[in-house]
Structure 1
């Protein structure tokens, strides 16, 4: 007996499959960046080198945006889950937090402010570019 699924279920399954493949592609870029950082003896995070490489390939139109958009969007929506192990690991360093807690708080606040400002400016540049009023470098 043949089971017929509604079209929406098949579309969802297909989208999940595509997302998994795209996440694997993003992971390959991260591994490649780590490899380059190790081989070239760079003190820069390999995952950032991989994302820089991906950005360069996207910008040169060698690599297509649609090849990673579903997986990238899923990773962004679930980003908070990736920070849970980090927050739990902080509990192991309770004595360090007691000694340097104010310094950590200051660094976190300054870092958050810098991220908010740079994210806002980046979003503004993108909106201006989409409206044809500006250029993205």
Structure 2
């Protein structure tokens, strides 16, 4: 029961963070979505140590494991707008494909950047420990 309450609280925290980032992006008139602002804010909070990964881990896992449910409205919309798909389908799929590739690349580069930061931090810590042991 404790894990369930913890997961629900984490999901609510992630939703609140997304909502706040979405409102901030709209208020500032940014040319990208609040989800991107939220992602950047969450990465910054995790890297700075202000938010520990354990504080959002179960909620994030739950959201990811149920992600397919969030696409059901999209599939229903596609079925309702077959005429639009016939006339503009190629352009829509090209835009979706380019968006997918952009998100894929941004995610890959972000993960690589965070891994390099983490490796550098560990290496510096190891060097300091070795200097302390030899001194």
Matching residue of 2:24: 36
Partner Cα separation in structure 2 for residue 119 and residue 41 of structure 1: 23
Q: What's the offset of the Cα at 1:69?
A: 0.2
Matching residue of 1:99: 87
The CA deviation string for residues 95-123 of structure 1, in whole angstroms up to 9 with x for no partner, is 11011223333444455556566667777
- Normalised by the length of structure 1, the TM-score is 0.70
Match of 2:2 among 3, 14, 39: 14
- Normalised by the length of structure 2, the TM-score is 0.71
Match of 1:75 among 52, 63, 78: 63
Matching residue of 2:52: 64
Secondary structure at the counterpart of residue 49 of structure 2: coil
Q: What's the offset of the Cα at 1:40?
A: 1.2
Q: What's the offset of the Cα at 1:94?
A: 1.6
Secondary structure at the counterpart of residue 43 of structure 1: coil
Contact 1:29 1:51 in 2 (8 A): no
Give unmatched runs, 5+ long, in structure 2: 123-135
Root-mean-square deviation (Å):
3.1
Q: What's the offset of the Cα at 1:24?
A: 0.7
The CA deviation string for residues 62-99 of structure 1, in whole angstroms up to 9 with x for no partner, is 11110000000010111111011111112232211011
